[in-house]
Amino acid sequence: MKPNPKKIIVILLLLCIAPLSFAEQYYSLGAGLNFYKDRFPEDDYARQHVVTSGLMSFYFFPKDFFLGAFAKISMGGSSITKEENERESMKPRSNSIFDLRFVAAPSFRVKLGSKLFIPLSIGPSLVFTSEKTTEKLIKGSYGIANNTDKDYEYQSISFGFDADIGLVFVPGKSFMLKPGVFFDYIFARSENGQMRMNYRATDNKSFTAVPYSAFNVGFYLTLGMRI
């Protein structure tokens, strides 16, 4: 008797869907604010950032079990508040930074009743940034000065670890509220393009690994639903 491909597909789908019927899923959207300092030790250079972002998070827990999975994505803009080296610090050059972060991790939860639990998630973090810095140039000829703007573009891909802890409140059947705090430590970076800051300038034609570190702390509030 030949196997029926349609029956096999149906059985596989049922096997995939079955665990979901015995699990709790939480989806939420919100906004966050985080602060970090990144360091480039080879250039004796550091910057302080403030990032405002929108974020989306997801939890998956087998029903009445303490161990599950967590995923988070955030997207926002970073403002540099200060540049510094060992000798001095100064106001940064005018630039704009796009900041995109992904986190996927195991999650441990502590139940504080039927409507409240604390999830703790620790796992890898992937960060992508894109910067654009505008430098004003003064060019002159025949005694006439002309002001022109030159743009420099810089991209980076960084890797590290993220720790996220929240307080999930589910007052009813579906609605959920979650304030949270997170910390991440980034220790690996590859960069491309031209960074033009007061104390650091690069000109990479392709992605190049550089010594780098950053410690980040952030706060957020999300609203969502339980399925």
In the chain the domains, ranked by start, together with CATH numbers, are: 21-226 (2.40.160.20)
Asked if pLDDT for residue 46 goes beyond 90, the answer is yes
Mean pLDDT of the chain: 87
Q: Of 14-18, 70-74, 144-148, which one has max mean pLDDT?
A: 70-74
Q: Place 148 in a pLDDT band, splitting at 50, 70 and 90.
A: confident
Asked if pLDDT for residue 186 goes beyond 50, the answer is yes
Give the number of other Cβ atoms within 10 Å of residue 95's Cβ: 19
For residue 129, what are its two tokens? Answer: 């940034």
What is the per-residue pLDDT across 158-176, written as a single tens digit (0 to 9) for each?
999 999 999 999 998 889 9
How many Cα atoms occupy the beta-carbon half-sphere of 203 within 13 Å? 1
Q: Place 12 in a pLDDT band, splitting at 50, 70 and 90.
A: very low
Task: For residue 224, count CB atoms less than 10 angstroms from its CB and return exposed for 0-12, middle for 13-18, buried for 19 or more.
Answer: buried
Q: 92-96, 145-149, 156-160, 181-185: which has the minimum mean pLDDT?
A: 145-149
CB 70, CB 106: distance < 8 Å: yes
Task: For residue 197, count CB atoms less than 10 angstroms from its CB and return exposed for 0-12, middle for 13-18, buried for 19 or more.
Answer: buried
* pLDDT (0 to 100) of residue 28: 96
Position 50: which residue type?
Answer: V
Residue 104: CB partners within 8 Å, gap ≥ 6?
A: 69, 70, 71, 123, 124
Asked if pLDDT for residue 133 goes beyond 50, the answer is yes
Give the residues across from 118 on adjacent strands: 110
Mean pLDDT of 26-46: 94
Position 32: which residue type?
Answer: G
CB 220, CB 182: distance < 8 Å: yes
CB 111, CB 117: distance < 8 Å: yes
